[in-house]
Structure 1
Amino acid sequence: MTYPDNFKDLVKLETYIGTGNPNSQILIVGKEVATDIEDGKHKELEVKNLESFNKNNIDWLQNINNNVSQIDIPVWRMENDDNNPLYAFKGASITKEGHTWRKYQKLNDYIFDKISNEVINFQENIFITEMSTLPAKTTGKAQKRAEFKQKLQERKETFFKSSFIQDFSIVVLACSNYISGSEITDIFNVDFIEEKGRGTQKYWIHWNKDKTKIVLHTRQLSANVSNDLLKGIAREVQHFLKN
């Protein structure tokens, strides 16, 4: 697998990078990595989640140095410590409708006209990262941290303005109020075009001047996000890909 040079440069920042295919055309940005090591029922999984988050940058360095491709990554098992960010939780099934990755999988299936798939494979076509580098189970807990605003602003000015992030032609900002309309214009060099959807299921469409980049801003894709919202976003992406 060939890793883009600007991706290699980004990894040198020693920050949380993300998961999925760095050669993909689509970027999804969530709020933050959701993990809660105090969750008694799923404590082992939550601990592994946090470990994967903390190792993210190092794991990417190893992938680059060893030229690891997605086909090289074994199916993920709970008993194994390794959870490669190039294909995190490979082969795992997520059936809980409110789970963020279940929503990402549905969006992937709608974009590429695939039969609904419970097995997580959207990372073959998509790269995902987070607006904030402070993991938390809920947005409320994340925003209570003293360094939240400062860290968020720093990431917008560095990580999101990097050449690697800027090269994505399709960006889905599924992070609600973690970024404003004016910040979207500044960071991604796009202009607001149109609002679609209704009620709590809205999304905002932005394009650059020459129509080579589309940025879609919406709520966090979890909980009661409707299939109609996901289908609406998918239609915009499909339209972009066809033109």
Structure 2
Amino acid sequence: MPANELHFSSDFKDIITYCKENKLFLGAGNPNADILIIRKEAAIDMEKNKEQHETEYLDNVDQWEQNIQNNTQFEDVDCWFSLKPTFNPLYPYKGQRNVIESSPIKGKKRGEKGTSRTWRFYQKLIDAIYHDDVESSHINFHEYSFISELNQITAPYANKIPKKDRLVSIEKRKPLFEENFFQQFPIVIVAAGHYIRDFDINLCKLFKVEYDEQASKEFSEGLKNNWINVHYNRKGESPKLLIHTNQLSVNIEKELIKRLGEITKKSVLEQVILGKKLTNK
């Protein structure tokens, strides 16, 4: 749940330094959140949308440094639909309506000031966890989660990125997720589909969790094209839940979002009630 006032921890400052030294993209959203969402890569065409790529990716670490210097809070971020908005990774495109904005057809655009299909799925998930499934009027999931990427090479479609280049990027980013900042999230949702298998990403080793085969079968039962793999770390002072599931973009069943919400909400409530991360079972 978002804190009343954001604070930028020493672990967060350290990860910014690490990203700057290694020329890595960090991410966007609330660095104090309980939920970390890791996806495949962003759908930005680096050639046709050079300015967007520079703003959202190449400038990412510098923007976070400015946020720390200015102690930027959510309310300080410009609404994206103001006269001269400034992009900020703390709250990207703040003010978007919770509807899908489509490309103009015959000069008419649907869902004006709306969002993408993927971001709408993220919002549905956050609404299920924190808002009792009541649909938010605007996109606010950045207040409740931090989001990063397995691969920092962006493209409008995954098949536009050569597999070799993607593999190099993923391998370079693996150590990033072993840093303290990423390890401290009690809930990790890896919405990357079969990237985990295709690029030999060992989530158990990376996040120090164990795969629960029985629970995964139960949570996935009845889903047609979607699935939920759950992993736990119930040892020590920092128990963790890790969910690996489909990429939240297309062909996502309503039931998948419902179940992801239920599993994650249980962990969030345990954290609030017990005053710590996840409860040991």
TM-score computed with the length of structure 2 as normaliser: 0.78
Q: Note the aligned Cα RMSD (angstroms).
A: 2.2
Letter in 1 for 2:71: N
Within 2, Cα distance between the matches of 1:19 and 1:237?
20
Unaligned 5+ runs, structure 2: 1-5, 102-115, 271-281
Within 2, Cα distance between the matches of 1:38 and 1:223?
24
Matches within 5 A, 1:78-93: 80=84, 82-93=86-97
Question: 2:13 aligns to what SS in structure 1?
Answer: helix
Which of 261, 264, 269 matches 1:237? 264
Letter in 2 for 1:231: K
For residues 125-167 of structure 1, the C-alpha deviation after alignment (integer angstroms, 9 at most, x for no partner) is 111111111111111113x1542112201211x2111100000
2:106 is aligned to none
Task: Say whether the 8 Å CA contact 1:18–1:129 is kept in structure 2.
Answer: yes
Within 1, Cα distance between the matches of 2:51 and 2:82?
11
Letter in 2 for 1:150: V
Task: Say whether the 8 Å CA contact 1:26–1:169 is kept in structure 2.
Answer: yes
The count of aligned residue pairs is 236
Bigger drift between 166-175 and 203-212 goes to: 203-212
Task: Say whether the 8 Å CA contact 1:35–1:50 is kept in structure 2.
Answer: no
Which of 7, 11, 15 matches 1:6? 11
Which of 57, 65, 68 matches 1:64? 68
Within 1, Cα distance between the matches of 2:151 and 2:46?
18
1:166 is aligned to 183
Within 2, Cα distance between the matches of 1:137 and 1:91?
23
Letter in 2 for 1:174: A
For residues 205-237 of structure 1, the C-alpha deviation after alignment (integer angstroms, 9 at most, x for no partner) is 100033820000011101121221011111111
Question: Deviation of residue 55 (structure 1)?
Answer: 1.0
Matches within 5 A, 1:17-166: 17-36=26-45, 47-48=51-52, 50-77=54-81, 80=84, 82-96=86-100, 99-112=117-130, 113-142=132-161, 144=162, 146-156=164-174, 158-166=175-183
1:145–1:192 CA distance, 2 compared to 1 (3 A):
closer
Task: Say whether the 8 Å CA contact 2:79–2:95 is kept in structure 1.
Answer: yes
2:227 is aligned to 202
Within 1, Cα distance between the matches of 2:164 and 2:171?
13
1:126–1:190 CA distance, 2 compared to 1 (3 A):
same
Letter in 1 for 2:95: G
1:184 is aligned to 203
1:221–1:60 CA distance, 2 compared to 1 (3 A):
same
Letter in 2 for 1:26: I
Task: Say whether the 8 Å CA contact 1:48–1:81 is kept in structure 2.
Answer: no
Higher-Rg member (1/2) = 2
TM-score computed with the length of structure 1 as normaliser: 0.89
* Structure with more relative contact order (C-alpha pairs < 8 Å, separation 6 or more): 1
Structure having the higher strand fraction is 1
